[in-house]
Amino acid sequence: MTNQPLMSLTYMTAEKRVGWIEQSISRTDGTLALYRESIHSANQMFPLQSVFDCSHKPFSDGTCLFYLHTNHGVRTFHVTSDPAAFERTFRKLKSEHV
């Protein structure tokens, strides 16, 4: 594996905290990084052979849900940019591994 990812995609996670009187939402950004042999998020590593496909569902505000279809289920990421280039690069890598 090289040190630099072939592609990366920024995603965000939100955590809602409820106190006695107030509630707050904290947002954390992470990076989904595509390497030749794996995809890495802040908390997980997905070997490329365990990822079947990726897709996304766009929203009108320009964000979208990005889905990694893995042998352990579908993992969802809320991304803030168009993931089309990430998807194309992933599919090209998968076709090379077949």
Among the listed residues 89, 92, 96, the one whose alpha carbon sits nearest the alpha carbon of residue 6? 89
- The per-residue pLDDT for range 37-73, each reduced to its tens digit, is 999 998 899 999 999 999 999 999 888 999 999 999 9
Question: What phi and psi values does residue 21 have, to the nearest 5 degrees?
Answer: -120, -35
SS (H, E, C) the chain: CCCCCCEEEEEEEEEEEECCCCEEEEEEEEEEEECCCEEECCCCEEEHHHEEEEEEEECCCCCEEEEEEEECEEEEEEECCCCHHHHHHHHHHHHHHC
pLDDT of res. 15 = 82
Report the predicted TM-score, pTM, of the whole model to 2 decimal places. Answer: 0.83
